[in-house]
Amino acid sequence: MNFTYWSWDTFFDALPFVLQGLGITVGLTITCYLFALTFGFVWTFLRRVPNKAFNWIVTWTMEFIRSTPPLVQLFFIYYAWPMIPGVGFALNPFASAVLGLGIHFSTYVGEIYRSGIESVDKGQWEASRALNFTTLDKWKKIILPQAIPPTIPMLGNYFIIMFKEVPLASTIGVAGIMLMANTYGAQNWAYLEPLTIVGIIFLVLSYPSAVLIKKLEVKMNTRFDKNAAVKSDQKGAVM
């Protein structure tokens, strides 16, 4: 093995250049994530429409978006959407990435919301009905406050997953760290150091977040563990 091609000079020369893109990468991650969190509700809502045919269409649309490459979906929105007669209009790379990645991950987020809502005990639905709650109040005061918190660790995981998918946007020209590294590489014919920097940035940012979310998960599990709640109730009854 020889490491003659590795140069610390290039490394430190490329570092500030690549870091210029960090703001865009993080900004795009947060924007995509907020989009996915919001749009996820739309899927959850659509899936709850009590019509079999409609339900089937929604389910398979979600399956289609989820099992096809986000890269192709990005290209579709960036290159193809403006070409659709009537509805199409050109979007800048950043907006295309928000839409493409946002919609892709909203299908996952929608499923998480659904699992949260389904995990709410049947008695809670019956109670809110017995107490004559309006539909809005039922969701606002009874169902969602119980459905959302247990899903927070899972949603957090998707934030990290999304962060790692964001460099795909470099292919349509979003100037995040990935594009910066490729630009530096093309200008100086030195790809190794800038790409290593990108890898290190991802590792440094995503690993601590993953550890943090794991901690959150343990905390949530003890807090929302139904069995634990029942056990403590029984203990109370005995005492």
Residues 6+ apart with CB under 8 A from 179: 21, 170, 173
Minimum distance from residue 142 beta carbon to other proteins (Å): 27
Minimum distance from residue 46 beta carbon to other proteins (Å): 19
Say how far apart CA 164 and CA 198 lie, in whole Å.
11
Do 115 and 151 meet the contact criterion of CB atoms below 8 Å apart?
Answer: yes
Minimum distance from residue 232 beta carbon to other proteins (Å): 22
What residues make contact with other proteins under the rule CB under 8 A? 1-3, 5-6, 63-64, 67-73, 75-76, 79-81, 83-84, 88, 164-168, 170-171, 178, 182, 185, 191-192, 195-196, 198-199, 202-203, 206-207, 210
Minimum distance from residue 59 beta carbon to other proteins (Å): 11
**5-13: long-range contacts, CB 8 A cutoff, minimum separation 24:** 5/192, 6/192, 6/193, 7/190, 7/193, 10/188, 10/190, 10/193, 11/193, 11/196, 11/197, 13/188
Minimum distance from residue 35 beta carbon to other proteins (Å): 19
CB-wise, 38 or 59, nearer to other proteins?
Answer: 59
CB-wise, 117 or 166, nearer to other proteins?
Answer: 166
Nearest to 179 by CA among 11, 10, 21, 12: 21
CB-wise, 70 or 150, nearer to other proteins?
Answer: 70
CB-wise, 40 or 176, nearer to other proteins?
Answer: 176
Minimum distance from residue 235 beta carbon to other proteins (Å): 24
CB-wise, 44 or 157, nearer to other proteins?
Answer: 157
